[in-house]
């Protein structure tokens, strides 16, 4: 898989791209990441990527021309006639929320292009005519799309085949199964009088699996009950949740 990062701050990325799962994915040949400096596609002596907004107002707006040229240089085709397996994304507060399902969707692509906005915003014609979709990490404000892009790259990289040691460790992650993950413990079995649940020390794998499932359900009910409305629940799960006071369809 290839991920292209279109940005006015190309030096933001190299340190993070050389660490952790992103580094591992690249070393294993599962991921190629290229950073595309947007200023290379300007046509003035100041290498300007922004200008004042039409109609007035505070802040600067990123120009459409450098972004259009950068996308053209990547050979991703035109919006509406883009080859299958390629997706271009603009980070924006108006975009759909990034979730684990979106990460899985992106991990199945051949080429993902992430356009990092800055300043007050990006010329609306980029969203209307150049990219496939807008994406948001959540209801908060960042200085630009670069930190969000790193989150997306990391989330996608660990889903690529062969990157994480066993896929079980990915399938058990919070949100991957639609629920929050269960709590985990390691040695020592007791520290300052704080013990580990006895079932985890029992060696009884079926009991451990059920105990972890119930803790996952309990955490989700207590912390993110909204997730239960779309989670894949068994009859046994539903009985356990009803014992906690959960009612299907009830608002949190």
pLDDT digits (tens, 9 = 90+) for 112-166: 999 999 988 999 999 999 999 999 999 999 999 999 999 999 999 999 999 986 5
pLDDT digits (tens, 9 = 90+) for 191-249: 999 999 999 999 999 999 999 999 999 999 999 999 999 999 999 999 999 999 999 87
Q: What percent of the chain has pLDDT over 70?
A: 94
57 and 128 together in one domain: yes
141 and 180 together in one domain: no
151 and 193 together in one domain: no
Predicted model pTM:
0.87
127 and 222 together in one domain: no
45 and 74 together in one domain: yes
> What is the residue range of 202's domain?
172-244
Q: What is the CATH number of the domain that holds 58?
A: 3.40.1280.10
Q: For residue 57, give both structure tokens.
A: 């107002």
Cα dist. 135→91, 106, 164, 183 in Å? 5, 12, 25, 30
108 and 16 together in one domain: yes
């Amino acid at each position: 898989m290839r991920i292209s990062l279109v940005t006015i701050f190309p030096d933001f990325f190299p340190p993070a791209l050389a660490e952790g799962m992103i580094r591992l994915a690249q070393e294993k040949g599962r991921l190629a990441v290229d950073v595309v400096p947007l200023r290379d596609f300007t046509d003035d002596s100041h290498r300007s990527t922004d200008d004042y907004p039409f109609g007035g107002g505070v802040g600067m707006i990123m120009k459409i021309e450098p972004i259009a040229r950068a996308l053209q240089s990547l050979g991703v085709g035109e919006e509406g006639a883009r080859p299958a397996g390629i997706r271009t994304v603009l980070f924006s507060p108006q975009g759909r929320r990034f979730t684990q399902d979106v990460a899985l969707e992106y991990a199945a692509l051949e080429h993902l292009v992430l356009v990092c906005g800055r300043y007050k915003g990006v010329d609306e014609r980029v969203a209307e005519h150049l990219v496939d979709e807008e994406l948001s990490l959540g209801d908060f404000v960042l200085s630009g799309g670069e930190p969000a892009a790193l989150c997306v790259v990391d989330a996608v990289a660990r889903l690529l085949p062969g990157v994480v040691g066993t896929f079980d460790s990915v399938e058990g992650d919070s949100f991957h199964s639609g629920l929050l993950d269960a709590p985990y413990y390691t040695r020592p079995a007791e520290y300052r009088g704080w013990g580990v649940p006895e079932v985890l020390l029992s060696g009884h794998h079926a009991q451990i699996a059920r105990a972890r499932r119930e803790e996952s359900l309990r955490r989700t009910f207590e912390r993110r009950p909204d997730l239960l409305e779309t989670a894949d629940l068994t009859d046994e799960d539903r009985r356990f949740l009803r014992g906690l006071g959960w009612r299907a369809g009830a608002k949190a």
